Structure 1
């Protein structure tokens, strides 16, 4: 039995095949095309040809894609939506999408704020205005809208009204309407949670296209006896159905795949991971084998959100970054890059643009292309460029650390050939085998998770009892998502006291993960 992992990046589409013992059978890189499915098909066909495996033995296929991120950033292919907030009169002062840019605000056909919602302690704020909700949904149906975002004040405490409104929406607009509920997507903070819900609602067409497209690509190649999964941004997998319902969870799955792949290849459970692509370098932290989650609000395409996101820092440095010598003799690197055209424009490939890859080849760090084409580069210039690269990377390493102690560093990504072997702040620098396709490997070996999050008053339920119940529910959620129960383990436990709540109320969050059933 084999697993197929594919990760679509901005520069390359990577594919990998691993066997049931998680041994890498074949890994390849193909340039990402304008139409990502052409790139996926090319990568799929190449890895099958290189490996020579029997297609019928591929039982699981995992895809990591940047499609949702790109749709938000580029303002393309977003579906028109309706937004219903349950929170009048308390939240009327700040309307939905209040701080959104005009070019993306246009996705909203109509928004409304009606009575409903709860106080921070779970008490009723105002009764749900069912008639107003029905009237809103009828207007959306009449206007041809097929996706609705529903948010409610303090819905992470009680989501009764959100669920009731969602049921009303189905009654009015039909069972095939796409409904995004804020309590299922974001965390505390009405505006940020609502923003994430709006983005999720607008991504349904994108999700439908890439899920169906990936399944069709597999079918076209005769890979039919296969379970298909999508990568999430917490380093675990979700089913096709789950991806269509929560496409926002695929945002930033690329860096998390690389982090998971780096941990697997290096056998390290705690380290800083540096993933160098053709255009950018992502820095993340692996904690107990999973990516560290960001603890602050994250902005996606100019929209402030608070749903779970990996703690990742990106800088404009990659294998295709352009190197320039300034009039005063200083050397700059990036942030602009030749990207996927590196095989045409870099000097070692016969091009006319000096890139970081040319610098690495000139200094003898890696053999690629035709080294004679960079022999004319002055060594002084090359060393200044490498020093600039080192400074950029070391500053980012310091930004990722939570203490002054040195940490192990894992280098992955095809562009990591440009980084020096020694870095300040690193206890060790490791570049494992198959480093170039760590993202696809991370996708292929990912586990299935379940996350339980709830506000619990420890005066009513003792802390030990509450945490045990939360762990059990998180493990059950992982099993229901497709994990083998015997392999499920708790990977994260967090309880944070909420000072502004009555009593001893804490936000309890527990995540469990296990191996995917074969």
Structure 2
């Protein structure tokens, strides 16, 4: 059996999965320290279906810790950004176009150095070890504990990033963490560099958070491998999470979409995940979330690492209702819903209250919203339906029919039909689809490179790229017999010489839990 947990801003959901069957499911309020909410959710599972530690093959957790830390600019480590590219790239130094409050939060220190490659592997300039040692001395003197290294076209050739890390680590010692852009972002220097800096700034927090999550699981008497959800709907082990916390961004919506696919039976559909604070809308294609094709702004910073194509709006079960129902959100009472909403004896009119008043669900004490007028409730519910329908329409890429699946505890806010979109499907266990998505998640491997393809060599280059993606999935813990290529793109780049072609391949397989040692 597996346990899936999703930690949201309002609720912490947990499920016990016996194969593909939901054996137990609970929803608990997210605690301020988060780990207490996880412990409470695990205790709730035990109450529904008793199990022993030996029964559990793995625990999968999706968390918003890291994206929240970046958005709120808290818990970020002092970070230096070292870019290898001189004499080119100097016109736009690291941290260009970052919000001022984030620049201050990470104690931004940019450094430019020689190095870098052209797209075909040719060297821009050789590394200067003495230059890197001088930068390391300045970084050490400033008390900086995390370093992000980026090199021009490093996804094609990461040699200089690896060498620069070796040189600087020898000067700075083992207490300084390094993040390399070739391991994090895609083609595109500034966006890849930004993603690497964000990852570096989160490294220290990742150690504390991962240790806390592990302690909450073991403290509940469960001795099983622990995994965290990635932002592409697949899993990573705790050591990977410590090194690449940025990979957890947007894991909540992807878990919900994967769970929706399993519960509804649709492998292509729009998924509306209505939580306590926001509604996230994404599209499933072949059972996996459609990925954003361009840059993604995270907390005002442009990045290009893999992220789902999701639109979010400030509508959820905890959204405040004002102006006689004409204004819904975007602010929310969040995890204080059980204290502040009318149906729980509070004094704040929320979306949950109007849903209960409108007969959409049985939550709390319905008699406590008897004083809310039906007109206010219907007006607010109409606003919610119209705004969600608008977002789903914006996510469509064709006029073909697109089923709509609603999941999340807040999906009771939605009507049975959305205007222009048809029936809203709510599968069994829809309220904990995010935890189910975490529990059934698989393991992936991905490559994204630019190749100079000589005449007659295309087939062998494509085969090598696909095999590299498969090998990465297996190295990440996938069962080799289950790995398949689920996404493949081949795009010629006419503005570069040498028949340049960008190839992206993604392989996915089932987690080989039986091969793991407890």
Alignment of 1:387-398 (within 5 A): 387-398=382-393
Looking at structure 2, the residues matched to 115 and 402 of structure 1 have their Cα atoms a distance apart, in angstroms, of 43
- Relative distance call for 1:139 and 1:284 in structure 2 (3 A) is same
User: Equivalences for 1:310-321 in 2 at 5 Å?
Assistant: 310-321=308-319
2:191 aligned with 1:196: no
Task: Provide the residue aligned with 2:13 in structure 1.
Answer: 14
| TM alignment of 1:390-469, pairs within 5 A | 390-460=385-455, 462-469=457-464
Say if 2:258 is the partner of 1:293. no
2:52 paired residue number = 54
Query: Do the aligned partners of 1:269 and 1:289 also contact (CA within 8 Å) in 2?
Result: yes
Q: Is 1:271 aligned with 2:266?
A: no
Q: CA deviation at 1:98?
A: 1.8
8 Å contact 1:406–1:427 — kept in the other structure? no
- Alpha-carbon contact 1:16-1:25 (below 8 Å) kept: yes
Query: What does residue 356 of structure 1 align with?
Result: 351
Higher mean displacement: 23-32 or 212-221: 212-221
Cross-structure match for 1:178:
177
- Judge which range, 462-471 or 482-491, deviates more: 462-471
Taking the aligned partners of 1:466 and 1:427, their CA distance within structure 2 comes to 45
Q: 1:345 aligns with which of 332, 335, 340?
A: 340
Could you report, residue by residue, the CA deviation over 1:480-515 in whole angstroms, capped at 9, with x for unpaired residues? 111111111111001111121103211101101111
1:112 aligns with 2:107: no
CA distance 1:261–1:120, change in 2 (3 Å): same
Kindly indicate whether residue 71 of structure 2 is the aligned counterpart of residue 73 of structure 1. yes
Is 1:380 aligned to 2:375, yes or no? yes
> Which secondary structure does the structure 1 equivalent of 2:362 belong to?
coil
| 1:203-242 equivalent positions in 2, closer than 5 A | 203-224=202-223, 226-242=224-240
> Match for residue 476 of structure 2?
481
Task: Please say if residues 406 and 425 of structure 1, whose CA atoms lie closer than 8 Å, have aligned partners that are also in contact.
Answer: no
TM-score normalised by length of structure 2: 0.95
Which moves more between the two structures, 32-41 or 335-344? 335-344
- CA offset digits 1:416-455 (Å, max 9, x no partner): 0110010134354211111111111111110001112221
- Structure 1's unaligned 5+ residue stretches are none
Counterpart for residue 503 of structure 1: 498
CA distance in 1, matches of 2:170, 2:455: 37
TM-score (norm 1): 0.95
1:142, 1:461 → 2: CA distance? 54
Change over 3 Å in CA distance of 1:198–1:368 after alignment to 2: same
Instruction: Structure 2 unaligned segments of length 5 or more: list them.
Output: 514-518
2:328 matches 1:333: yes
- Per the TM alignment, residue 142 of structure 1 is displaced from its structure 2 partner at its CA by 4.1
Report if the CA contact (8 A) 1:407-1:428 is conserved.
no
Give CA deviations for 1:78-123 in whole Å, capped at 9, x if unaligned. 1112221111121111111021223221324632101111234432
Using the TM superposition, give the Cα deviation of residue 169 of structure 1 relative to its aligned residue in structure 2, in angstroms: 2.2
Aligned partners of 1:118 and 1:453: how far apart in 2? 16
- 3-state DSSP class of the match of 1:151? strand
Distance between the aligned counterparts of 1:213 and 1:323, measured in 2?
36
Name the residue aligned to 2:516. Answer: none
3-state secondary structure, aligned to 2:337: helix
Q: Distance in 2 between matches of 1:480 and 1:459?
A: 30
Moved more, 292-301 or 169-178: 169-178
Aligned residue pairs total: 512
Higher mean C-alpha deviation, range 96-105 or range 420-429: 420-429
Kept in 2, the 8 Å contact 1:67–1:206? The answer is: no
1:48-78, Cα deviation, whole Å (9 max, x unpaired): 2222112321120111111110111111111
The 1-side partners of 2:340 and 2:108 are apart by: 44
**Cα distance change on mapping 1:349 and 1:461 into 2, 3 Å:** farther
- Go from structure 1 to structure 2 and tell me whether the alpha carbon gap of 1:80 and 1:461 turns closer, same or farther (over 3 Å shift): farther
**SS at 1:203 equivalent:** helix
Q: CA deviation at 1:460?
A: 4.7
Return the alpha-carbon distance in structure 2 between the equivalents of residues 324 and 76 of structure 1. Answer: 31
Query: Which residue number corresponds to residue 154 of structure 1?
Result: 153
Name the SS for the 1:393 alignment partner.
helix
SS at match of 1:407: coil
CA distance in 2, matches of 1:196, 1:423: 37
